[in-house]
Structure 1
Amino acid sequence: MEIIVDIVSGLIAQMQKPTLAFLIGGMALAAFGSKLEIPEPVYKFIVFLLLMKVGLGAGISIREANFIDLAIPAVGAALVGIAIVLLGSGTLARLRGVSSMDGMATAGLFGAVSASTLAAGMAMLDEEGIAYEGFIGALYPFMDIAALVTAILLARLSAERKAAAETTAQPGGAVAVGKPGSDNGEMIRGILSETFRSAAISALLLGLALGILARPDSVYENFYDVLFRGLLSILMLIMGMEAWSRLSELRQVAHAYIAYGLLAPLAHGALGFGAGLIVHQLTGFSGGGVVLLAVMAASSSDISGPPTLRGALPEANPSAYVGTSTGLGTPVAILSIPLWIALANMTIGV
């Protein structure tokens, strides 16, 4: 009982801090029908700066990082991303009323990473004075790309198997065979190319490369790091308004998406937390790192994922996967951050 009280009191305390307060404030504005709008170019610029900040910080830290200390968490992050998609393919994608394509697209989006949720987790740990590895941002693309590639590949293979199975007898006894299978290797290369060229991954990888190969420390400290918290608060406000507006889209799809949007972030975060504990035992991964791995797993992509899925799976319904992710998944993921902090404190101490 005392543990539950501690978690609830911690959650209430976190809601009073800027990160969650601005998210909830944005949802409240949208709920009351406010006409406030943040121009799309401003939103994109904020996202770019936040990704560059995360990438630069990770790159600067990688210069001094031990290869094994980085490689093992990276492998763990990729495996978690794949596991989340496989879990979604065996649950949501198989439910009645949910098309396989829509279910896999949703699973892919939930397996990928939200940079804003990761930034929110970092901000909360900073406010609590909890240390974490500086290279943690470098784990983002490993989980993100692994999840998106797995989801798109499985969705495409499922669609081709379904097409091949839909054979019908033609007049005269001829049989029409469905669409023949395509070159899976070429498809995977195309998916990887599209993912790496997406705006979010490009900005993150640019920051990583500059942080590793150049010496941008002064620019990072005097510009990106200084603006980080203010820009994040605006992004949380935007996401809060968008989250509320997306809730209405779920009326058009199966109620299964609502249950998935509410429960999946917690299940996925638990997977990430478990993987973090394993990495902690193997490499001495910090408690803050374990929390952020759980945060990444609990999050669902709001930047790189949607355009990648729209391009690779045009048959999938954006109202299903984007509405579920932004309308439910993202708020639940952000609101669950205090839970992972509390669990880390109870298990390994932070």
Structure 2
Amino acid sequence: MSEIIAGNLLSPVVLFFVLGIFAALIKSDLKFPAALSDSLSIYLLIAIGIKGGIELSHYSIQSVMGPIMGALFLGAVIPFITLVWMRVMKMDLHNSIGLAATYGSISIVTYGAAISFLEKSGTSYEGFMNALVVLMESPAILISLFLLKILEKNNHSPAVSSHSMGLVPASLKLVDKEVIRESLFGKSILLLVGSLFIGLMLGDEAVPMVKPLFFDLYNSVLILFLLNMGLIAGARLPEVRKHGIKLLLFGIVSPIIFGSLGVITGSMVGLSLGGTMLMGVLAGSASYIAAPAALKTSVPEANPSIYLGLSLGVTFPFNLIIGIPLYYELAKWIQ
């Protein structure tokens, strides 16, 4: 277990993120051109989507329908719970949405550490869990952006009650065609979900063409992306102090709650011990790749130092040290 923890904490993607924060704190002149920053986000969204679609094409829809429904359920309910949680803590709307998308989505690196944990313990798991990794990324982002559009209209509507705290729309008319269009067809969701369907339709036939760019170079491009996100987060890091211990506790308590919900869901949809534990890991983790890539373009008002600082600086190491074995023991108890 110590090797898993050390291997992930000392991985290049994490270290380059830390380098970006350090560069920002010492006020280095290191900067990414805006066009390059947008290009890296587009690349990651396409790569994550198409790889998941290709993996999903290996299975019949009947064999994965139950787990898919479980994954979609978690991807929908976790961002809503997070949003309510943040609004009760009096956090502003855009940063609440940022955390809702980040904690509703998943961490691929945490998932990889969980796979290593299962392999070392000799516990088997369903192969299609790799596809659920992608399926649990896009619903949370979609739901979060949808809620943002509704609540932005809600905040500007004269019909809103002063007691609503911006949590519930005053009228179903707020859910109009424009809200749905912007939520479903914003470029982040369009690229992520569209790429997944392309990979699903083409299957292994797409591998020879997409492998050199979207498979082989993925980790290298990810390093550049997290270096840039480190620069952005480091520049705005002092803003996190305004929220203090409340956010720190959220970063520790929320993976326990969401991970437990994931384990219960995995057991209910009939997954094995290993699959149930992985569902808990996915639910309890927080994204620092897909969600930040989407938020950077769709919700630029959200502070990266909050959603990235919590997901990568608090929840990520917590899951590696405590969360993964905790979800495994919980899965054993439920099974």
Taking structure 2 as the reference length, the TM-score comes to 0.75
**Which residue number in structure 1 is paired with residue 107 of structure 2?**
118
Comparing 238-247 and 23-32, the one that deviates more: 23-32
CA, structure 1 residues 59+10, in 2 after alignment: closer, same or farther (shift >3 Å)?
closer
**Which residue number in structure 1 is paired with residue 142 of structure 2?**
145
**Which residue number in structure 2 is paired with residue 266 of structure 1?**
252
**Residue 205 (structure 1) aligned to one of 170, 174, 193:** 193
Give 1:55 shift.
0.7
Give 1:346 shift.
4.0
Give 1:53 shift.
1.4
Aligned: 1:195 with 2:183: yes
1:73 and 1:267 map into 2 onto residues whose CA distance is 25
- Give structure 1 stretches of 5+ with no counterpart: 1-5, 167-180, 311-317
Q: Does the 8 Å CA contact 2:102/2:307 hold for their aligned counterparts?
A: no
Aligned: 1:246 with 2:246: no
1:309 and 1:204 map into 2 onto residues whose CA distance is 16
2:180 and 2:142 map into 1 onto residues whose CA distance is 8
Q: How do 1:7-26 residues align onto structure 2 when only pairs under 5 Å count?
A: 11-26=5-20
Give 1:217 shift.
1.8
Q: How do 1:97-246 residues align onto structure 2 when only pairs under 5 Å count?
A: 98=90, 102=92, 104-113=93-102, 118-121=107-110, 124=113, 133-136=129-132, 137-150=134-147, 152-154=149-151, 156-157=153-154, 160=157, 184-185=172-173, 187-214=175-202, 215-246=205-236
SS in 2 for 1:209: helix
SS in 2 for 1:37: coil
CA, structure 1 residues 206+14, in 2 after alignment: closer, same or farther (shift >3 Å)?
same
Give 1:56 shift.
0.8
Comparing 67-76 and 284-293, the one that deviates more: 67-76
Larger Rg: 1
Q: Does the 8 Å CA contact 1:77/1:139 hold for their aligned counterparts?
A: yes
SS in 1 for 2:293: coil
Note the alpha carbon deviations across 1:282-303, whole angstroms, 9 max, x for none: 2316244432332247999323
1:299 and 1:222 map into 2 onto residues whose CA distance is 20
2:40 and 2:104 map into 1 onto residues whose CA distance is 12
2:27 and 2:106 map into 1 onto residues whose CA distance is 25
2:108 and 2:259 map into 1 onto residues whose CA distance is 17
Q: How do 1:74-93 residues align onto structure 2 when only pairs under 5 Å count?
A: 74-88=68-82, 90-93=84-87
Q: Does the 8 Å CA contact 1:258/1:324 hold for their aligned counterparts?
A: no
2:235 and 2:291 map into 1 onto residues whose CA distance is 17
**Which residue number in structure 2 is paired with residue 175 of structure 1?**
none
Note the alpha carbon deviations across 1:89-144, whole angstroms, 9 max, x for none: 5544244xx47xx2x43332212148996344455567778676231202222222
SS in 1 for 2:325: helix
1:46 and 1:261 map into 2 onto residues whose CA distance is 28
Aligned: 1:332 with 2:309: no
Q: Does the 8 Å CA contact 2:99/2:307 hold for their aligned counterparts?
A: yes
Aligned: 1:56 with 2:50: yes
Taking structure 1 as the reference length, the TM-score comes to 0.72
SS in 2 for 1:218: helix
SS in 2 for 1:191: helix
Q: Does the 8 Å CA contact 1:272/1:297 hold for their aligned counterparts?
A: no
2:278 and 2:35 map into 1 onto residues whose CA distance is 33
2:323 is matched by which residue type in structure 1? W
1:298 and 1:291 map into 2 onto residues whose CA distance is 15
1:90 and 1:183 map into 2 onto residues whose CA distance is 18
Comparing 108-117 and 267-276, the one that deviates more: 108-117
**Which residue number in structure 1 is paired with residue 325 of structure 2?**
342
SS in 2 for 1:302: helix
Give 1:213 shift.
1.9
RMSD of Structure 2 on Structure 1 (CA): 3.7
Q: Does the 8 Å CA contact 2:54/2:200 hold for their aligned counterparts?
A: yes
- Give structure 2 stretches of 5+ with no counterpart: 120-124, 164-168
Q: Does the 8 Å CA contact 2:229/2:304 hold for their aligned counterparts?
A: no
1:44 and 1:81 map into 2 onto residues whose CA distance is 25
2:62 and 2:234 map into 1 onto residues whose CA distance is 42
